[in-house]
Amino acid sequence: MKIKNYIKQKLMSFRDIFKDENDINEKSVVGFASFLIMVIFAAVDIITGISGKHLEVQEYIYNSFVIIALGSFGIAEAGKIFGKKDKE
């Protein structure tokens, strides 16, 4: 029963990400995920290079992740700079 409640709680907290009123910046999450994929690609490329094999990945796929990461972080920062500032 405890496991069922734990899973239900985690699913509910995952759903909270998609609400309009939350504390998570979705653009930063997407940018971080894209950056993480680029880091994994670089690690795998280094490992396969050491083992003497060549990793074949299309350049436009890698460039897509670069654009997504830069765009996401740029939009998130622009939102902080130009966003509505509440004075309380």
pLDDT string in tens for the chain (88-residue length): 788 787 777 776 666 666 667 677 777 788 888 889 888 988 988 999 899 888 887 888 888 888 888 888 887 777 777 876 655 4
Residue 80 is assigned to a structural domain of this protein: yes
Asked if residue 51 belongs to a domain, the reply is yes
Domain limits for position 82 = 23-88
In angstroms and rounded to an integer, the radius of gyration of the C-alpha atoms of the chain is 19
Tokens of 80: 């902080």
2 inside domain:
no
Q: Is residue 4 part of a domain?
A: no
Considering the domain boundaries, does residue 14 fall inside one? no
Question: Has residue 30 been placed in a domain?
Answer: yes
Q: What is the number of structural domains in the chain?
A: 1
Is residue 81, in this structure, part of any structural domain at all?
Answer: yes
Contacting residues for 86 by C-beta, under 8 A, at least 6 apart: none
3-class DSSP state for residue 19? coil
